[in-house]
Structure 1
Amino acid sequence: MSQARLKEYCDLQASTISYLVNDLKKCGLIKDAEQEQREGKVGKPGNLLALNNDMASFLGLYVEDNWIDTYWIGIDGRILEYKREKYGENSVESSIIDTIQYNMSAHGSIKGIGVAVKGIVQTDGTIKSGKRYGNWDGKDAWNFEGLANDLKKQFSEIPFIVENDANCAAELFHYNTKRIYSNCVTYLLNQMPFGIGCGLILCGQLYRGGNGSAGEIFEKGGLMRSLAGDRNAGQQNTETMIQAVMPHILTTGYLLNPNCIVLTGSCFEKITDQELEIIRKMLEDVPVKVEILSGQDLLNPAQGAALFAIDRYAADLVGEVTQR
């Protein structure tokens, strides 16, 4: 946008906007893009400004049972590259480090990294996560307790965000919808490998709760564990997962009264129109708007993790500038 539009948007004096823009240009974070189109308007067209992806880009990783999704995005949020790579029997942590090292050498402008994990990331940095499923004889490879500290030691010059995958999906939905919903609840329903998570955006911010586990789903009867056991037998489908999580959805809908509830995840990756219609009927009693994101609209937590990294970088940058 132009400096004039920035002035209107930020409600600041033109001289203040000019001062700030010049500072950001000196840092290389803003560049001149092109002249704005002013058809039918009088006056000299202004130069449009754009964030400079060549100066600052970010990585987002989503760690699954046997693969890692990696998004490389610019500071303007644009996706520059996406990859899914399997890592076999290597340890999860070493695979994360290898992926980061490769991308750091390939992309010299990386200023922050976000990692989405399918576990509870507590406020003290402790990560509580379940077992890794697959052909590893029940090997428990999800020991992430020291992951954040290990990454900081390995890559001391790069700030890291480690966050729950459903929280990352919630942040991505919030971003994709231009933050029009100040209160929304996102359910991440994954079929292969199995997983059910929930992320909360309340009053325009991610809500993590007192210890970081807000939104987690507790189910006493063992149905969730049964669904996890059925996944390899081909007995699990999206409808049964919706039935299992329906009490939580209804309670959340009435208790929090969000603007909308979002359902996404690999359960909806190849779902048919007929199945979608059945699920929509199942959700008719939910007291708020429900959006189902399927196919190309699925929310990948890796991209949300990268957005968290951008937010951290921007906050740190503002903090440095205000202290000068």
Structure 2
Amino acid sequence: MNKSQERYQNMFSLFRTLRLEGTLTQSELKDRLHLQASTISYLVNDLKREGLLQLSSLENSAAKGKVGKPGQYLEIANEHSYFLGLYLEETFIDLHVIGLADQEVHFQHIPLENPTPQELIQKVVSLIDHFTTVYENIKGVGLAV
């Protein structure tokens, strides 16, 4: 594996770990990923510079009573990018707007009354147009039928 692939794999592992576990310090990331502190630091700084990571508002209570500077919790910047998901059924549409950290920021259950296929298409297009305007940083749309 070349350096570029290794860096990508490390960044992917760091990002996936934060998505699964929520908030962690750089030290906790180092321990979970078995990487050097400097590697974690470079990756975190790059992700913060891109706006994908941010400092969490969580307080590190586990650090109380320990010597040294307490670690700051990091989290994925949920509002960096959104995904719009539409789940279509015969009698309703469930609409979800989900952020980068898998946190839902909007849910709407929209009842339908026997729409024709054309009316359903128009409704879906209308919802996509509306929500991509309300949430300008929607990066993807998914439909499930």
Give the alignment's TM-score, normalised by structure 1.
0.34
Distance 1:16 1:113 in 2: 34
Q: Does 1:112 align with 2:112?
A: no
Q: Which residue of 2 aligns with 1:2?
A: 25
Distance 2:123 2:78 in 1: 26
Identity %: 38
Distance 1:109 1:33 in 2: 21
Q: Does 1:61 align with 2:86?
A: yes
More helix by share: 2
| 2:51 corresponds to which of 19, 22, 28 | 28
Secondary structure in structure 1 of the residue aligned to 2:64: coil
Is this contact kept in 2: 1:63–1:116, CA < 8 A?
A: yes
Is this contact kept in 2: 1:63–1:69, CA < 8 A?
A: yes
Secondary structure in structure 1 of the residue aligned to 2:46: helix
Q: Which residue of 2 aligns with 1:95?
A: 123
User: Structure 2 matches for 1:134-283, cutoff 5 A?
Assistant: none
* Amino acid across the alignment from 2:138: I
TM superposition shift of 1:9: 1.5
TM superposition shift of 1:87: 4.1
Secondary structure in structure 1 of the residue aligned to 2:27: helix
Question: Tell me, which stretches of 5 or more residues in structure 1 are unaligned?
Answer: 118-324
Is this contact kept in 2: 1:87–1:95, CA < 8 A?
A: no
Cα RMSD (Å): 1.7
Q: Which residue of 2 aligns with 1:83?
A: 108
What are the superposed Cα offsets for residues 80-122 of structure 1, whole Å, 9 maximum, x if unpaired? 11101134425333322221111100111212222222xxxxx
Report the number of matched residues. 117
| 1:46 corresponds to which of 71, 79, 85 | 71
Larger gyration radius, structure 1 or structure 2: 1
User: Structure 2 matches for 1:13-24, cutoff 5 A?
Assistant: 13-24=36-47
Question: Tell me, which stretches of 5 or more residues in structure 2 are unaligned?
Answer: 1-23
Q: Looking at both structures, which has the greater relative contact order when contacts are Cα pairs under 8 Å and sequence separation is at least 6?
A: 2
